[in-house]
Amino acid sequence: MQKNDKIILEITATSSEGSGIGRYEGLAVFVPQAAVGDTLKVKILKVKSNCAYGKVEQIIEPSPLRIEPDCQVFSKCGGCVYRHISYDAELQIKQQKVEDALRRIGGVDMSPQPIVSDGVCSGYRNKAQYPVAQDGSVGFFATHSHRIIPCDSCGLQPEEFSLIAKIFSFWMMTSGNKPYLEETGRGLVRHLYIRKAVATGEIMVCLVINGDRVVAADRLVQDLRAELGDSLKTVVLNVNKKKTNVILSDECKNLYGDGYIYDILCGVKIRISPLSFYQVNHDMAERLYSKAAEYAAPEGKTLLDLYCGAGTIGLSMAERAERVIGVEIIPEAIKDAEFNAAQNGIANTEFICGDAAEAAAELAKRNIKPQTVIVDPPRKGCSAELLHTIAHDFAPDTLVYVSCDPATLARDVKILNELNYEIKEYTPFDLFPRTSHVETVARLERRG
């Protein structure tokens, strides 16, 4: 097999990234936007020693799982991967993805609980980050590239985001502000960043810029207020002058409002800034946190919430717990967590800025031993050092692990098993319908 060959391929499996997999002359071939049961004519794009990559040239026999994609940029945009199959089929793929990872990598001889979904596949995202094209329009990056696919209306996002994108694009084209060009590091406006608080309806608009100010800022604010009314609570500039792929810097300037919006999650009022970590699917986050609370059984216990961010998980359990201690290495997040506790009148919380090892040493000096530890790490999972700190220094009876990557969860579960912690139950959650991502909540208990 060589590049540009055209082959007939039957799709028999789905990769963790959402591509269809078929075998040709013993070699695995990965094909985006293919479905199990398809018979396809595939053009080969790349051949490696252990696999090949191709694209669909023709659907010879469609899979029964197939549906007509409902997005004009689905074949180009790097966001969704499952708009060509039914949602039931997508949920089965994600359920199997989590189980396969835990069995293969983690050595877990146990099936997950049924995947949890509210069935809502559109309008669920409360955050959008649009790169700005050279003509002032906005869109999304193509798969595995920084080539912008024009799109000001995404089915995963609320209707207001499309309206804001159109207002912004017109302003860009008529205000004299120049779009940023990655290749040269020149230009001004890099991203349009929007957040919406689902429970309150409050909206934040943030412009990420390669400078200190924009031209005609007042006109942009006026145009947004005219269309959005009282739901527009703040417009912010995020100043990012670094030549980097990281979207946001730490510096924010308010053009309108106080730089925050407020949402309510699991009955707790949460302040959200442009820099705050906050789950993008509000309603499903409430279900996920409810399962985490069920696994934690916080009644009368001291809970340690690692990677606590703005404190959302721990604060959602504080009413039932004796005490909640949050640990986070980012100072701004700790300030948010302390503010959120205070504004909700939650007095049995404490937040420590530092890494887990530092927190362990501090709590040990005070003779504090949490009965339950909750971790909600980024996609890379927990470090081996952190897992050892949890097992040896904290030594909780129960560990609740909230994961956004089944592979790193499985890796960490295997390490924890060697540290005397056994997985008892785990549940997948679909917080990101139509994409390849899936969350999982796992409960582990200390042996003996």
Q: Under a CB-based contact definition with an 8 Å cutoff, are residues 133 and 139 in contact?
A: yes
Last residue of some domain: 265, 298, 332? 265
| Rounded Cα–Cα distance for residues 81 and 432 (Å) | 11
Residues 165 and 97 in one domain: no
Asked whether residue 274 is domain-assigned, the answer is no
Distance CA 442, CA 413 (A): 9
Both 39 and 160 in one domain: the answer is no
**238 with 299, same domain?**
no
254/150: higher pLDDT: 254
Residue in the block written with tokens 């606590």: 308
Q: Using CA of residue 223, residue 130, residue 336, residue 290, what is the dihedral sign?
A: positive
Cβ contact 89:70 at 8 Å: no
Q: 292: part of which helix (H) or strand (E)?
A: helix 282-296
Total residues belonging to the chain: 448
395: domain CATH number? 3.40.50.150
161-189: pLDDT as tens digits:
999 999 999 999 999 999 999 999 999 99
Question: What is d(CA 387, CA 410) in angstroms, rounded to the nearest whole number?
Answer: 13
Mean pLDDT of the chain: 95
Domain identity same for 110 and 58: no
Report pTM.
0.94
Do 232 and 150 belong together in one domain?
yes
Instruction: Give the residue numbers spanning the domain of 46.
Output: 6-66
Instruction: Identify any residues that bridge with 6 across adjacent strands, giving them in sequence order.
Output: 43
What's the mean pLDDT in 55-75?
94
Looking at the fold, whether 255 and 144 belong to one and the same domain comes out as: yes
pLDDT digits (tens, 9 = 90+) for 89-143: 999 999 999 999 999 999 999 999 999 999 999 999 999 999 999 999 999 998 8
421 neighbors 445 (Cβ within 8 angstroms):
yes
Instruction: Name beta bridge partners: 55.
Output: 43
Asked whether residue 114 falls in the same domain as residue 131, the answer is no
d(CA 203, CA 127): 10
The reply to whether 113 and 38 lie within a common domain is no
Specify the pLDDT at position 265.
Answer: 97
Residue 407 forms part of a structural domain: yes
Measured CA to CA in angstroms, residue 218 lies from 199, 222, 254 at distances of 28, 6, 12
Predicted confidence (pLDDT) per residue in 374-411, tens digit: 999 999 999 999 999 999 989 999 999 999 999 999 99
> Has residue 271 been placed in a domain?
no
CATH code at 34? 2.40.50.140
Could you tell me the sign of the dihedral formed by the alpha carbons of 243, 209, 257, 151, in that order? negative
Kindly state whether residues 300 and 375 are assigned to the same domain.
yes
Rounded distance between C-alpha atoms, residue 390 and residue 357, angstroms? 9
Residue 78 falls within a domain, yes or no? Answer: no
- How many structural domains are present in the chain? 3
Q: Using an 8 Å Cβ cutoff, are 397 and 446 in contact?
A: yes
Q: What pLDDT band is residue 362 in, cutting at 50, 70 and 90?
A: confident
Q: At what angle do helices 159-175 and 217-228 cross, to 10 degrees?
A: 150
Give CA 238 to chain center in angstroms. 20
In a domain, 77, yes or no: no
Task: Please state the φ and ψ torsions of residue 357, each to the nearest 5 degrees.
Answer: -65, -40
Q: Give the CATH number of the domain where residue 146 resides.
A: 2.40.50.1070
Indicate the SS3 state at residue 448.
coil
Distant-in-sequence, close-in-space partners of 17: CB < 8 Å, separation ≥ 6: 81, 436
| Residue 251: partners with Cβ closer than 8 Å, 6 or more residues away | 238, 239, 240
**Residue 106 tokens, joined:** 């983690």
Distance CA 360, CA 392 (A): 10
The token pair at 120 is 């809502």
Residues 314 and 385 grouped into a single domain: yes
**Domain stops at, among 233, 265, 297:** 265
Residues marked active site are found at 404
363 pLDDT tier (thresholds 50, 70, 90): confident
- Assigned domain for 177 exists: yes
310 plus 250 within the same structural domain: no
**Residue 187 lies inside a defined structural domain of this protein:** yes
Q: Please tell me the least confidently modeled range out of 146-160, 190-204, 405-419.
A: 146-160
- Domain end point (choices 215, 234, 265): 265
Helical (H) or strand (E) element with 122: none
In a domain, residue 75? The reply is: no
Residues 115 and 138 in one domain: no
